[in-house]
Amino acid sequence: MTTAILSALPEEQSSLVQHLAHPQRLMHAGRAFWLGDLHGRRVVLALSGIGKVAAATTATALIERFGVARIVFTGVAGGVGDGVQVGDVVVAQDYLQHDMDASPLFPRWEVPGYARSRLVCDVALSALLLGAATACVSSASGQFGLKSSAQGGSEAPLHRAHHGLIASGDRFVSSADECVRLRTTLHDAGHDVLAVEMEGAAVAQVCHDYGIPFAAARTISDRADDTAHVDFPLFVQTVASRYAEHMVLAFLQKLSN
Ligand code: ADE
C-alpha cells in the first residue's frame, strides 16, 4: 500500500526527501513526485501547488498515476478560531470551501452535486495524525525557535493540537477585517472554522470522489490578520518544515498497513 504525503511547501517536502530510502524522482503533469520508503513504508511525496486547482491536479495524479491508497496532507494555515495560535497545529475533521457560492441556485458554501458544504476527513487516519500532532506540539516546547506569544517567551511555550473544521479558498487572508467577516459569516451559518488555507478542501473533494482516505494537519503560521504576510514567510523558514517532518514520521510509525 502506498501512502501519499502531500506537502504544501517545498521546505516540507525537501526535509522528507532526505529521509527517503531508495529515492526515485518522477515527473508527471509538470510536477516532481518522489517515490521511496519512509520508516519501511512505501510513500510518494508530492507538492500540492498553491490554490485549489493545483492541489486537485496533484491529488488526482497521486491516485490515477501512482495508485496511492491514502493521502496525508501537511502545510500551514492562518488561525481564525478562538485560541488557535501561531505554533499550534489544526488537524482537519472536515473541510469547507469558503469561496464556494453558487447561490441562489444552491445554498451558500454547498458544493454543487454533493448536497453538502462540508467534506469529512477519514476518522481513523485523522486520529493517528492528531496523535502525531499532539506529540509534536508538546515536544516542540522550547524547540524550533518557537516562543509562546501568551507568555512573552519567558516561560515554557504552550502549543496545542486542535481538531475541527478548516476552510479553504483561493485567497491568502491577510486582513483582520476580512478574517472577522469570514469567520462571523460562517459561524452564523453553523460553521465554526479553526483555520484557513488554500488547498485542503480541493484534495478532500478529489479523495471523496475516488473513495480514498484523506487526513490533513496544518501548522498555524499567522492569524490571517494585518501582519499575516510578514508572519507567514518567517514561520515557513524557521518552523513549518520541522513540524511537518516530525508529524509525518510519527504518523507513519503508527500506521498499521
Ligand atoms: N496559509 C497560511 N496562512 C494563510 C492565510 N492567512 N490565508 C490563506 N492561506 C494561508
Q: Tell me the CA–centroid distance for residue 169 and ligand 1, in Å.
A: 9
Active site residues: 12, 222
Protein residue with its CA nearest to atom 9 in ligand 1? 197
Choosing from 73, 221, 226 the residue with most ligand 1 atoms within 8 A of its CB, the one to mutate for a pocket test is 221
CA of 163 to the centre of ligand 1 (A): 18
Q: Is the pLDDT of residue 67 over 70?
A: yes
- Looking up cell 478532500, which residue turns up? 204
Ligand 1 binding site (Cβ under 6 Å of any ligand atom): 76-78, 172-174, 196-198, 221-222, 224, 228, 232
Q: What percent of the chain has pLDDT over 70?
A: 93
Lowest-confidence segment of 45-59, 92-106, 143-157 by average pLDDT: 143-157
Question: Does the pLDDT at position 81 exceed 80?
Answer: yes
How far apart are the CA of 174 and the centre of ligand 1, in A?
A: 8
The pLDDT value given to residue 145: 52
Report pTM.
0.92
Question: Exposed e or buried b for every residue in 166-175, given b needs 16+ CB within 10 A?
Answer: bbbbeebbbe
What is the CA(22)–ligand 1 centre distance, in A?
Answer: 34
- Beta strand 3-7 pairing with 41-47: parallel
Atom of ligand 1 nearest to the CA of 173: 7
Number of domains in the chain: 1
**What stretch of H or E contains 220?**
strand 214-222
Ligand 1 mutation pick, 7, 193, 197, 230, max ligand atoms within 8 A of CB: 197
Helices (H), 74-192: 123-139, 176-188
Domain range enclosing 140: 3-254
Distances (CA, A) of 14 to 6, 18, 104: 12, 6, 44
The x, y and z cell numbers of residue 231, run together, are 508572519
Query: Do the beta carbons of residue 252 and residue 109 sit within 8 Å?
Result: no
The pLDDT tens digits of the residues spanning 170-207 come to 999 999 999 999 999 999 999 999 999 999 999 999 99
Predicted pLDDT of residue 155: 54
Residue 216 or 242, more confident: 216
Once rounded to an integer, what is the mean pLDDT over residues 124-134? 97
- Ligand 1 nearest atom to the CA of residue 228, by list position: 6
Give the CATH number for residue 172. Answer: 3.40.50.1580
